[in-house]
């Protein structure tokens, strides 16, 4: 069975993004349904899978990374409104038996993601 994980790195500071809130949604009939909220640890990861094996199914999902709260807590000189605040990443899970890793690399003015391993 598969599972879903993430890892958030602060590329501007060169460190893991600790204490970032992340919400997970499943998209059902075009509407987001909240599944859970998690927080990154000191390594920028979540303790355990965001979506464990027994809840992992084929479908469309969305991770919402609350980058603005994180960035504000580490950069007091950023102007409001922030360029990046909440970063939504919508993605599909097509293989129920696979590991889906969705990392996020952030800075105050940009981000990137990819399907990791």
> Nearest CA to 9 among 114, 111, 80, 83?
111
Q: Where are the domains of the chain?
A: 3-113
Say what the pTM is: 0.95
CA pseudo-torsion sign 19, 21, 26, 27: negative
Q: What is the pLDDT of residues 12-30, one digit of tens each?
A: 999 999 999 999 999 999 9
pLDDT in tens, the chain (117 residues): 579 999 999 999 999 999 999 999 999 999 999 999 999 999 999 999 999 888 889 999 999 999 999 999 998 889 999 999 999 999 999 998 899 999 999 999 999 999 998
Class of domain 3-113: mainly beta
């Amino acid at each position: 069975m598969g599972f879903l994980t993430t890892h958030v790195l602060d590329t501007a500071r060169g460190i893991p993004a600790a204490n970032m809130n992340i919400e997970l949604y499943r998209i059902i009939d075009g509407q987001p349904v909240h599944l859970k909220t998690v927080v990154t640890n000191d390594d920028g990861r979540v303790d355990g899978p965001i979506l464990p094996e027994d809840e992992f199914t084929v479908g469309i999902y969305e991770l919402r990374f609350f980058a603005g709260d994180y960035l504000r807590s580490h950069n007091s000189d950023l102007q409001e409104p922030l360029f990046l605040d909440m970063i939504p990443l919508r993605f599909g899970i097509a293989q129920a038996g696979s590991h889906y890793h969705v990392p996020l690399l952030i800075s105050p003015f940009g981000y990137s993601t990819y399907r990791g391993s």
